[in-house]
Amino acid sequence: MPSHTQENAPHHAIIRKPGLAADAPIVVVVTGQHGNEPMGLELGWQMAAAYKMAETCRFELRLFGGANPWGLRHLLREMEDGRDMNATWGGPDACRDDLEREVWSVLRSGRRVLLLDMHSQSGTLPLAYYDGPLGQALEPLFRSLPFVCKPKAGCLTGACEAHGVEALTIEATSGQPLGLLSQVVWKGASQWAERG
Ligand SMILES: [Zn+2]
């Protein structure tokens, strides 16, 4: 059974300021891998809105929104075929569907790339999970966000770390306004792009 039928396919938005260099860094935002975590989805929209409102921007934003449409529609963590999307990322040579292929084609484009995978969990504080030294090195850019090392087989950020892509899993919580987290993440992503 295909993971995504045409009518519930996730969207891939390419958002870039006019005049941005063709080889500008890319911030890839993935949301909605877990259909029962809609705050992650909202965080992606807020990033896109912040991009539109910013006067200048040094990076291109790629939003893979609603990665698991069936799960979102049913408020379930899993996909229609029963798998946990964030437990089966194998890397560019082990893609399971078109979405994975499209994500990896951006990650392997040869440009600087930062991947942010948006989720939500219970608890009072939002968190950034990283999987290794590449992710850990991002900590100074997201200073007010607690960083936690949480390697997990098959998760997207782990697959990124394994293939040389800087990546974080961002976990929103209902214990703190999403707008605050969105500002922290936006600032971190902007500083990453400026770091060059
Ligand atoms: Zn999740």
What would the pLDDT profile of 15-47 be if each residue is shown by its tens digit?
999 999 999 999 999 999 999 999 999 999 999
Of 96, 88, 78, 72, nearest to 8 by C-alpha is 72
Cα of 184 vs centre of ligand 1, distance in Å, is 19
Does 54 have pLDDT greater than 90? yes
Q: Say whether 86 sits in a helix, a strand or coil.
A: helix
- Determine the distance separating the centroid of ligand 1 and the alpha carbon of 57, expressed in angstroms: 28
The rounded Å distance from CA 54 to ligand 1 centre is 28
* Cα 172 to ligand 1 centre (Å): 10
Q: What integer pLDDT is reported at residue 8 of this predicted model?
A: 56
- Structural domains in the chain, CATH included, are 11-16+25-195 (3.40.630.10)
Q: What is the 37 CA–ligand 1 centroid distance (Å)?
A: 6
CA–centroid distance, residue 182 to ligand 1 (Å): 17
- Tell how far the Cα of 20 is from the centroid of ligand 1, in angstroms: 32
Give the residues across from 118 on adjacent strands: 31, 170
Q: What is the pLDDT of residue 2?
A: 43
Closest Cα to residue 147, out of 135, 157, 158? 135
How far, in Å, from the CA of 70 to the mean position of ligand 1?
15
Confidence of residue 124 (pLDDT cuts 50, 70, 90): confident
pLDDT at position 9, please? Answer: 60
Q: Output the pLDDT for position 56.
A: 92
Which residue would you say has higher pLDDT here, 5 or 95? Answer: 95
4 has pLDDT over 80: no
| Tokens read off for 56 | 């200048």
Q: How far is the CA of 85 from the centre of ligand 1 (A)?
A: 9
Residue 11 is predicted with a pLDDT of 83
Confidence of residue 118 (pLDDT cuts 50, 70, 90): very high
What distance in angstroms lies between residue 32's CA and the mean position of ligand 1's atoms?
A: 8
Average pLDDT over residues 58-75: 95
Tell me the CA–centroid distance for residue 82 and ligand 1, in Å: 15
Tell me how far the alpha carbon of residue 62 lies from the centroid of ligand 1, in angstroms. Answer: 19
Angle at 64 between CA 60 and CA 66, to 5 degrees: 150
Q: How much is the pLDDT for 1?
A: 41
CA of 178 to the centre of ligand 1 (A): 16
Rounded Cα distance, 84 and 181, in Å: 25
State the distance from the centre of ligand 1 to the C-alpha of 56, rounded, in angstroms.
31
Tens digits of per-residue pLDDT, 129-168? Answer: 999 999 999 999 998 899 999 998 899 999 999 999 999 9
Average pLDDT, the chain: 93
Taking the centre of ligand 1 as the mean of its atom positions, its distance from the CA of residue 138, in whole angstroms, is 20
